[in-house]
Structure 1
Amino acid sequence: MNKHKAIATPTKTKEILNKYGFSFKKSLGQNFIIDVNILTKILEKAEVTKEVGVIEIGPGMGALTEQIAIHAKQVVAFEIDQRLAPILEETLMEYDNVSIVYQDVLEADVASIILEHFEVGQKVKLVANLPYYVTTPILMKLLMARLPLASITVMIQKEVADRMAATPNTKSYGSLSIAVQYYTEASVVLHVPKTVFMPQPNVDSAVLHLEIRDKPLVEVNDEDFFFDLVRACFGQRRKTLRNNLVRHFTDEYTKEALEIKLQEANIDGTRRGESLSIQEFADLANVFSG
């Protein structure tokens, strides 16, 4: 551990906020972490070591960035809020293994930035306290881009973490669970109280760990169609698969034609979407797009 007082404490955070007259922007979902133990736990769950390169999104005033810099080989952080530039310059000045990219990660060419900053063959992981309002778009963009990431470990809203890691026949299981698990092995590794944030969010938080798969969990003929079909099957959760499919494919297939597709996939149309495994969804999608 380094000599100076960590950023992630209530006093140090308030001191920096006051010094720079910084005010939180609600629209950017800014909630800074003020507990070093939580940050250390996140890095343990992510298995960050001195050989690993790390990408961070939304460094804020650098509380997590600092801990990553101490434990990893190097860190590249994306920050959308230019107002934080002078703060980050001060808080991270003694770390020469940190680069800040002032860009919205949703618009950035992350693949090029990885190539530019990390060595070929180096293990790169994503570790972040994500702004809650854009968690899903950010994670889906990164997963669909098939970036050379080994894993993703993120602090997000507990409810979203539960949905991403959910299994069939549970309330949280839905199209998001399938989209995330198609690319990764997902698990919720830590629950985090509201008290470790400034300002405190109104929702509970959790750390989600995604281990990137070498290849998608199931084989599908047409990925876009597969995800579209999955969303359709969860269109109205209380309705049967048959009803959701009839509603979705109303212009393309008759009820009878859909019934034949379900039979071909060996799936009972009276079941609900939440009872199907990802493999069953793949089988059904492949019957349509075979």
Structure 2
Amino acid sequence: MNSPIPDALLGPADVRELAAALGVRPTKQRGQNFVIDANTVRRIVRTAGVRPDDVVVEVGPGLGSLTLALLEVADRVTAVEIDDVLAAALPATIAARMPERADRFALVHSDALQVRELPGPAPTALVANLPYNVAVPVLLHMLDTFPGIERTLVMVQAEVADRLAAAPSSKVYGVPSVKANWYAEVKRAGAIGRNVFWPAPNVDSGLVSLVRRSEPLATTASKAEVFAVVDAAFAQRRKTLRAALAGWAGSAAAAEAALVAAGVSPQARGEALTVEEFARIAEAAPDRGTAAAPRKDPEEQQR
């Protein structure tokens, strides 16, 4: 492991000076809150278990606070940044503050939700301070697009962290909980105070650890088929599965038949089911492969 480089990381004064020089003000539209505490970014890297042979992808690097801490340890870091000004400035920041590691850094100037490939070796880890407004869609997209990502640690709004790591039957268990669990074992990995950000957000932040399943979920149903059942079940979460899945199955009777075949009570509700149970329901779908999922509520992705 490389030794930490004195003064290479960004402190509060460094962040504000960089932002002022670039004419940057963090925007709510893009969920930007810059980390200004070096101890916090090093803690994130430690918690993520980043190794010297890791190829890390970071989404939303901003001014480079976490990027520099990742470069202290990882073999390579690829940062995905949508903001024009921030993307243009980040390589120069890396070159100035950590020149001996600059050749280990790559920048992709793009919306993370549109990224389908990355330069260099395939990523083995995802570590990011995700923009609050798109955290769940970005996380799921990256896990789906880059199957080589074995370990993930993301900092998100505390409420979103709770939802991602929730267990069945908890009050906040929902679409993000089930879909994240399709890919990985998910758990809360700590809390982050508001005072380490500039500007300080109005919400608390949390760390979420995701370790990819060593073997894919054992099911004959595809991810799309399983996710269609999940979306239908939580679109009307107060209803029993018999009623909630009626549109998905074609009728309440067909939904009940699929549930019984899957060994799930038709009177159960979506928030009580594991991802494995959703997969069994998908396997029992009438006219499998042709059942249509209802229109998804965009806000449900954050629930």
TM-score of the two chains, using structure 2 as the length reference? 0.85
Q: Tell me the amino acid that sits aligned with residue 262 of structure 2.
A: A
SS in 1 for 2:188: strand
Would the aligned equivalents of 2:116 and 2:145 in 1 still touch at CA under 8 Å? no
> How far apart are 1:231 and its partner, in Å?
1.6
Q: Tell me the amino acid that sits aligned with residue 50 of structure 2.
A: V
Q: Deviations over 1:138-190 (max 9, x none)?
A: 11212222431111111111111211111111011112211110111111101
Pairing of 1:1-290 with structure 2 (within 5 A): 1-4=4-7, 6-7=9-10, 9-85=11-87, 87-93=89-95, 94=99, 95-96=101-102, 97-110=104-117, 113=118, 116-118=119-121, 124-246=124-246, 248-249=247-248, 252-253=250-251, 255-288=252-285, 289=288
How far apart are the structure 2 equivalents of 1:224 and 1:208?
Answer: 24
Aligned length: 279
Would the aligned equivalents of 1:106 and 1:138 in 2 still touch at CA under 8 Å? yes
> How far apart are 1:31 and its partner, in Å?
0.7
How far apart are the structure 2 equivalents of 1:48 and 1:257?
Answer: 48
Percentage of identical aligned residues: 36
TM-score of the two chains, using structure 1 as the length reference? 0.89
SS in 2 for 1:152: strand
In structure 2, do the counterparts of structure 1 residues 68 and 175 end up closer, same or farther at CA, with 3 Å as the change threshold?
A: same
Structure 2 unaligned blocks of 5 or more: 290-303
In structure 2, do the counterparts of structure 1 residues 30 and 140 end up closer, same or farther at CA, with 3 Å as the change threshold?
A: same
Structure 1 partner of 2:300: none
Q: Tell me the amino acid that sits aligned with residue 73 of structure 1.
A: D
> How far apart are 1:137 and its partner, in Å?
1.6
Structure 1 partner of 2:294: none
In structure 2, do the counterparts of structure 1 residues 244 and 189 end up closer, same or farther at CA, with 3 Å as the change threshold?
A: same
Q: Deviations over 1:222-270 (max 9, x none)?
A: 3322211122112222221122123x247x23x3333333222222212
Q: CA RMSD in A?
A: 2.0
In structure 2, do the counterparts of structure 1 residues 267 and 77 end up closer, same or farther at CA, with 3 Å as the change threshold?
A: same
